[in-house]
A and B are shown apart, each in its own frame.
Chain A
Amino acid sequence: MRKFFTLLWLTSILSMGYAQVRTVTGTVKDSQSLIALPGVTISVKSTGQGTQTDEAGRFSIQASSTDVLTFGFIGYTTQEVEINNRAIVDIFLESHDQALEEVVVVGYGTQRKIDLTGSITQVKGEEIENMPNTNPISSLQGKVAGLTISNSGSPGAAPTVRIRGVNSTNSSSPLYVVDGVLHDNIDFLSPGDIETIDVLRDPSSIAIYGLRGANGVIAVTLKKAARGRTAVNLSSSIGFNRVIDRIDVTDAEGFKKLHDADRANAGDSKFDYTNYTANTDWQELILRDGFLSNNTLGISNSGEKSSTHFSLGYNKQNGVVKNGDYERFTARLNQELKINDRLKIGGNISGMYWNMRPTVITFTNALWAAPIVPVQYDENTYYSMPSFQRAQVGNPIATLHRMDNKSLPTGYRFVGSLFAEWEIIENLKWKSTIYADLGFNNTRGYTPLPFYFMNLGESEGENTITYDENVRTAVSQKQEQFTRYQQDHTLTFEKAIEEDHRLTAMAGFTTVFTHNQEISGNRRDADLNIPDDPDFWYINISNPNANPGTFAGQGTKNAIVGAFGRVNYAFRDKYLLNATIRRDGSSKFAPKNRWGTFGSIGLGWVVSSEDFFQSIDVVDFLKLRASWGKIGNQNGIRDNIYQPGLSTSSSAIFGDNIYTAVGPAYIPDPNLRWEVVGGVDLGLESKFLNNKLNLEVTWYDRTTTDILTSLVIPNTDRSYFTNLGKITNRGVELTLGWNDRINEDFTYNVSANYSYNKNVVNSIGDNINFQIFGNNQANLTETGKSIGYFYGYRQIGIYQSLSQMENMATMSNSRPGDIAYEDVDGDGVITDKDRTYLGTPFPPHNFGININLGYKGFDFLIQGQGVAGNHIHVQRRRANFAPINYETNRLNAWTGPGTSNVEPILASNRGDNYLFSSYYLEPADFFRIRTLQLGYNFSTGLLNNRIRKARVYVSGQNIKTWSKVTGYSPEAPISSITAGGADNGIYPLPATYTFGVNLSF
């Protein structure tokens, strides 16, 4: 060996003798981002002489024309380049092989991705930072196979998140873990503060998190100080939201036509429109373009002994519905100190303040209000709706103007942690962390005096102006306090034995204690008119003796304890074993059922590391993995529900005396116990063609048993919370990526993901002999079908004539013009027995595609996303309590034989047409351009090279959607599990256009 080096050295010396020494210059860039890399070490191989690139990635070095240059940089693969007589050598450095170096969060620790035996997908902070979403989770939509996200356009609202379908009838939201702290949401994080997000999907990966993680875990790692220097990062964007897909409702002319027909068909007299001459587009009046801005400033410093990261964030979102908005300020400080070689301590504190202006009008109000009514008569007088809907539908703009800005919700949240890490002896580490999560919400509100209302004269009546004198001003206050304390203690042993064996063993103990409380009150002033000024909106503004007011206060408390252990073992990086065991205790169950032991095991085989595989050049990496796990779940159930709780809020009245009434608040199940989620996960990870192509395929089968379910018991009005039944989710997840560079200026990568989930309710349990319905019998959960499926009649057409009806199955009171339903049981008549499976509210197919292009300084991102296979229940059209404005589909209503085979006759007295049927379902398949972003990187150092990176971009989100859904958003309302998929006027999901800047100093 030594001989070889000697030879090499000699050769170099010799070649030097022949070659001419000259100045070689060039630029070093990242091969992916094409960003210039400062601080890259360049050395001449023969002489050892070296230099570094400057802020713009440029270097200049003396070398002979035949020499070899070595480029080295932390995190990048060292490259050797022959000069070959060139004067300019431009280099693209490849960051280290992702498969080897990438680390993912696995719970109380991290693990190299290559060693994983479960399904974990990592999303980088850069992919989130520049998206115009206040809540970082919204930006994951379409990026991770197996992750379903349903966004809301409402300012400050969190999206609904489901990982691999619906596991339970109760709560199916994942657990969030931010740097080790368990959370139910991460609304306190600024998108720019996130380093990575890991989505843990299979039972073996989530087992270590125990009882709260059964629906999957989203683990967030926050940015920490960059090593060895002071860095300042600023990301900032501004833009606006706009509703581009409105709901088509009839204008005044259309409304009159349809309302006349409706009345005529119901046998009623024609309405007198004489004074109703307006043509008001209520929808237009309540919508607006909403401004938004997202900003994060991060400053970090790191030295030998300590590192500090500090960040500030500001987000503002104006809703597209007048005049709701949301504003948030965040700040975070992360500090780590190295006391000595063995002891490290650190802490993290995040603070958040938010305030919002609540949206006071509902869409259904604007959709249902008759367009024939003018808006406003004078400053304090609004028009009321026509008599036929006056009692049910208010003037939306009067509501807006009266109630807007009359409620002032604000809140604070602080999350802090302290840790100490002690290396007791070599390879053995003790780490203890304590956390506190404190939240304080506060609202003050005001009920103003009403407006005057102009009632237009009908049937030759006169116009009248009315004023409601019974409405008095009132004030309210509400305060909520959320506290959660957590402690984690782990002992980790990590050792590599003779290169062949790598072993990590960890044991730990954790507790979480939660205590929430709230208090609220309000007073209506019978004497004075409290001014419309927030300075007066405190309860004491109103005399307590004359105005006793109403008050309320309540609290919740719960605790969990867990002890856990994990072993990760790898033999020659080829054979992988991960095993977890965890014992959990929860205060939500009675002492006898409180404890449960759960665990997981995972096996992996890196086939590509086998000797026999080395000859296969096309395949760079191939891993097969299999895992099994079982986790206890107690999510979403009320505290102490196993105890016989009493309701004390009802009262008996005798004369004017009021007495407390007591009764069971629900039917308790003293045997309430763990819901258990278990399953297997089989996966294949591979890379081909010099790592350009990667493919990941996973198949899973997950079963939930003893499902925690709240039931309405027949023949009572009580609910019963118990364990029952079994649900299976089976599916596949597919991720395919292609990553390449066409030439030095042009790089591109394409990745696509697809997932399919099949949900089956295997049983709703032996313990009940009745059925579980939701949303007034529109959703049914029963054995053998998917959970909460749409259950109703299937439309086959419209009855055209009496003679046609003689040959068709009908209902007992069917008439021409009514919806013809399918005779499912074939008995010749349409009865309740003909209701059938009509579809599922939960999308079985989810897919996303990402294309990144880089050309010189430009980068371009296009991201598409969609779902297929589910339906939306257009429940807003089934409203039948009063005549309301019509959606334009009703312009095609049946008026006689042959006029329509889809739209039934306009007649609100024909109840059969309002039954839940496929007529009220829309296919919810959609594909949308989720993001379109064009950026430019200034490659040369700006401001005397003080700016290391500068990027500007324009971005569009949700700019185009292909869908058959007539509502504001094709995103299924899936937060309710047994009553999902109903559109009752969901908040529009707007298109968002932003301009942004990223700067690094």
Chain B
Amino acid sequence: MNTNYFYKKYVIAILLISSTIFTGCEKFLDTQPQGSYTLDNYPYPQGGGPFDEFIFGVYDDLRSYSVHVDGFINATSIRSDDADKGSTANDGGADVFGMDNFPVLTTSGRANALWTGFLGIVTKCNEAIYQVESNDDIVSDEEIKQQTIGEARFFRGYAYFMLVRLFGRVPLIDKMLDDPAQQLNIRQNSVAEIYKFIEDDLNFAAANLPLSWDERFIGRATQGAANGILAKVYLTQGKWAQASSAAQKVMTSGQYDLTTDYAKIFGEDGENSSESVFEVQATASPTVTQTNGTQYASIQGVRGAGNWNLGWGWNVPSDVLEAAYEPEDPRKARTILYSSTNTTENFTIYSELMPRYPSDVPNPRYNHKVLGSPNLRNTISRGCWWMNIRILRYADVVLMYAEAANELGQTEEARTALNSIRARARRGAAEGILPDVATNNQNTLRNAIRHERRIELAMEHDRFFDIVRWGIAKQMLDAAGKTNFRIGRDELLPIPQAQIDLSKGVLEQNPGY
């Protein structure tokens, strides 16, 4: 028998089969993601905002733990003279001791969260801009494109404004990078470069964002928000004329006023009122108690037991803040939530009897502005995850205008603006409480405006940045007993050690750490 022939037949057969199989293999190996989209097959909705999905990711970030929650509350408020950590003595450990009374640990998880959180927003903004500029599959008119870019640049500008005030020098990332592993390890830019970048972004945003959105998009970024943040950017740099001008744009936009009662601003029914220039939106329901909300209020909630277990009890009003109020200022009761004591009964704005200090709660005071309504606390959750975060209020803009105007020598305008805030604050109060400021002295007026800013915006996350930019941080913090503050170091958070490590030393630590 001819074995060779026999084998040959088989070899040919096998070769034939193999080649058929291998052609089939390519198809066999082309498995697609199951139950998830890729950039190439996402069914972008037609009409409405074609790029909304990309920019909406930023709104998700705004509510997140690493952006406007734990690190944010610590760095902007607990670091200031007006608030203390609160809670029980050792709660939170060394990380928070550093936030409360300096220096902040270079290993602070909270500082690191702020870094990744706000730079995460920058990444999303760059991606959204990239989509607008290069995604040909999405059909859209030019105006919508510019508006989306404006919205992205608003948040990018805002994120860098937070970053530059928190950390000083940070790396500027202005586009999506094609080789992230190679390119994303970037050196820090100078503070001046960062401010220039922020101004460009916010100016572009102000020029391209709408004055307002319809009810479906309430709370979305507007021209007013861009101008308001821009005013603060200028104010922080001492660019008084530009600050005044940006603030004025908000004040003359016709979108905002001071009609909302101070007592109403902070509750659920005060959300997105005519006082609101920009606030982070949050919601919750009995079935979805947290996912669409934010832990912001929970961290500051009354630290009691049972129905008074509203949260961690952090960020409590300090002794010096309590002492700073003018007699009978109605804003005090809306800001400071007093615990009952063995001798005194205290009540919430909802007339609930507060638990007693020190036996039932560890702190005599809590932040009253974040207290949710008892009705929702009983039906949804006591953590109040639905409470919006007020980032920029109209009163803030008016006081920025007053400050800028006063520095520009426009005493009259400054005083009028200041007194409009005081007038709202004393509305409904007894005669003689919070009288108008009458001074013509620029320096006296400056102090009055600073005082008003402190009281009006107490516990609202500007105090630390304010005392730093006014150059009075050491003096005020010493007075509050936070004597560890060291000039030249503690104005800024440390660049997180985790980030320096990751960058292999490309990022440089802030002075003094």
- Interface on A for B, CB 8 Å cutoff? 262-263, 266, 268-269, 384, 387-388, 390-392, 424-425, 428, 453, 455, 457-462, 464, 466-470, 472, 491, 507, 509, 511, 513, 515, 517, 524, 526, 547-550, 553-561, 563, 585-587, 591, 594, 639-640, 643-648, 650-665, 667, 711-718, 720, 722, 724, 767-771, 773, 776-777, 780, 812-813, 832, 880-883, 908-911, 914-915
Contact = CB atoms under 8 A, between A and B. Distances in A.
B270 interface: no
B359 A459 contact: yes
Contact of A561 (B25, B91, B93, B291): B25
Contact of B185 (A266, A556, A640, A714): A714
Interface in B24-40: 25-26, 28-40
B359 A770 contact: no
A515 to B, nearest CB: 8
A608 to B, nearest CB: 36
Interface stretch (B102-110, B245-253, B436-444): B102-110
Contacts of A390: 305
A461 to B, nearest CB: 2
B123 interface: yes
15 contacts: A515-B34, A524-B286, A550-B287, A554-B35, A557-B32, A563-B18, A646-B38, A653-B219, A713-B180, A713-B181, A716-B184, A722-B181, A768-B181, A832-B500, A914-B94
B304 to A, nearest CB: 9
Contacts of A639: 31, 33-34
A62 B119 CA distance: 95
B272 to A, nearest CB: 7
Given A268-B89, A391-B303, A652-B56, A507 B14 contact: yes
Given A458-B359, A554-B34, A645-B33, A591 B184 contact: no
Given A466-B305, A511-B28, A911 B105 contact: yes
Nearest to A882: B91
Given A716-B120, A915-B107, A388 B504 contact: no
A587 B31 contact: yes
A645 B35 CA distance: 11
Contacts of A713: 180-181, 184
A509 B117 contact: no
Contacts of A560: 29
Given A559-B28, A650-B57, A770 B220 contact: no
Contacts of B219: 653-655
Interface string B469-513: 000000000000000000000000000011111111010000000
A387 B378 CA distance: 23
B504 A769 contact: yes
Nearest to B48: A659
Contacts of B97: 909, 911
B28 A715 contact: no
B504 to A, nearest CB: 5
A715 B29 contact: no
A622 to B, nearest CB: 38
A718 B95 CA distance: 25
A388 B91 contact: yes
Nearest to A583: B22
Contact of A655 (B281, B359, B380): B281
Interface of B: 6, 10, 14, 18, 21-22, 25-26, 28-40, 42, 52-54, 56-61, 63, 66, 88-95, 97-98, 103, 105-107, 109, 116-117, 119-120, 122-124, 127, 171, 173, 179-182, 184-186, 213, 215-220, 271-272, 281-283, 286-288, 291-292, 303, 305-307, 309, 312, 342, 356, 358-360, 362, 377-382, 497-504, 506
A908 B217 contact: no
Residue of A559, A654, A776 contacting most chain B CB atoms (<10 Å): A654
B119 A715 contact: yes
Contact of A461 (B38, B52, B356): B356
Given A550-B287, A654-B281, A453 B306 contact: yes
A658 B386 CA distance: 13
Nearest to B509: A832
Contact of A777 (B107, B306, B504): B107
A526 B219 CA distance: 30
Given A639-B33, A661-B57, 8 more contacts: A461-B360, A507-B14, A526-B287, A640-B38, A645-B38, A648-B36, A713-B180, A911-B107
- What are the nearest 3 A-B pairs in CB distance? A461-B359, A466-B306, A911-B94
B272 A458 contact: no
A580 B307 CA distance: 70
A780 B497 CA distance: 14
B93 A908 contact: yes
Contacts of A767: 179, 181-182
B380 A470 contact: yes
B93 to A, nearest CB: 3
Contacts of B120: 716-718
B90 A651 contact: no
Nearest to A547: B287
A660 B53 contact: yes
B513 to A, nearest CB: 8
A524 B283 contact: no
A773 B307 contact: no
Contact of A658 (B29, B292, B506): B292
A464 B184 contact: no
A712 B56 CA distance: 23
A263 B88 CA distance: 11
Given A653-B292, A720-B180, A644 B38 contact: yes
Contacts of B220: 654
B359 A909 contact: no
Given A391-B303, A509-B18, A715-B119, A646 B90 contact: no
A976 B379 CA distance: 42
A470 B382 contact: yes
B504 A643 contact: no
Contact of B29 (A556, A585, A662, A663): A585
A723 B291 CA distance: 35
A874 B430 CA distance: 62
A462 B359 contact: yes
Contacts of B215: 655
A509 B19 CA distance: 12
B358 A880 contact: no
A883 to B, nearest CB: 5
B504 A660 contact: no
A664 B502 contact: no
Given A462-B359, A646-B39, A880-B94, A640 B33 contact: yes
Contacts of B342: 460
Nearest to B112: A776
A268 B213 CA distance: 51
Given A453-B305, A653-B283, A653-B292, A832 B53 contact: no
B99 to A, nearest CB: 11
A368 to B, nearest CB: 13
A672 to B, nearest CB: 12
A469 B378 contact: yes
B22 to A, nearest CB: 8
Nearest to B97: A909
A556 B281 CA distance: 34
B90 A459 contact: no
Contacts of A513: 28
Given A550-B288, A645-B38, A715-B119, A388 B94 contact: no
Nearest to B382: A470
A507 B171 CA distance: 57
A653 B281 contact: yes
Given A466-B307, A559-B31, A768-B181, A651 B56 contact: yes
B119 A769 contact: no
Contacts of B25: 511, 561, 585
Contacts of A645: 33, 36-38
Contacts of A526: 286-287
Given A467-B306, A585-B29, A770-B502, A460 B21 contact: no
